Amino acid sequence: MNTVTLLDQDFELLIPAVEIEQAVSRIAQQINRDLKGKDVVFIGILNGAFMFAAELLKQIDLTCQISFLKLESYSGTSSTGMVTSLIGLGVDISNCTVVVLEDIVDTGLTIANIVKQLERHKTSELKIATLLFKPEAYKEKVKLDYVGIEIPNKFIVGFGLDYNGFGRNLKEIYVIKK
Ligand code: IMP
Ligand code: MG
């Protein structure tokens, strides 16, 4: 599919499935190599990172735990600037190496907020892996340890990312048509 329509918006293909798969595999290999022998807990950020987390974790060969956190900073196509913690951790992450799995880092507000909250848990190490990154939009200083693909500062959907709740199931990534 080269274009998709979700609600009132048309989107066109930006990143084909093979490129996403390659980016996910690259991150998995780096994590397997870097975190070998460590006590690792992966934390996927819902809803957007569910697909990235599933694809990535199938390629992780570490002995690890997996949990999810739910936060929200988006409504429609522009950031509302509000971040709220909605679903708790349910796993003891103290003295563990935590790897946060994000679908996308845009302004960085969400990831900075997550890091602030997780730092209270006295983890031994905190790493961030994001499938997508919008460098032009990034306003924070938090170091992104694993970045899959850098994209332009445009609204995208697919592979977990949504437009008002739709498009998360798309296996490729689409950019908004203006
Ligand atoms: P940030 O706080 O501005 O970095 O935004 C991060 C969150 O906003 C991500 O976890 C996504 O859920 C959402 N988001 C950012 N950019 C996009 C986009 O282009 N499409 C869909 N969701 C996005
Ligand atoms: Mg998200």
* Closest alpha carbon to 42 in 123, 143, 160, 138: 123
Whose structure tokens read 């460590």?
38
Which atom of ligand 1 sits closest to the CA of residue 102? 10
Distance 74 CA to ligand 1 centre (A): 6
Backbone conformation region of residue 21, classed left if phi is above 0, alpha if psi is from -120 to 50, else beta: alpha
pLDDT in single tens digits along all 178 residues of the chain? 899 999 999 999 999 999 999 999 999 999 999 999 999 999 999 999 999 999 999 999 999 999 999 875 555 555 555 545 546 688 899 999 999 999 999 999 889 989 988 998 999 999 999 999 999 999 999 999 999 999 999 999 999 999 999 999 999 999 999 8
What was the pLDDT predicted at 82? Answer: 55
Beta-bridge partner residues of 132: 104, 149
What was the pLDDT predicted at 87? Answer: 63
Amino acid identity, position 21: E
Ligand 1 surroundings by CB, under 6 angstroms: 48, 73-74, 79, 102-111, 155-157, 161
What was the pLDDT predicted at 117? Answer: 86
Measured between alpha carbons, how far is 4 from 159 in angstroms, rounded to an integer?
13
Instruction: Annotate 91-117 with b (16+ C-beta within 10 A) or e (fewer).
Output: eebeebbbbbbbbbbbbbbbbbbbbee
What was the pLDDT predicted at 39? Answer: 95
Model confidence pLDDT, tens digit, residues 13-27: 999 999 999 999 999
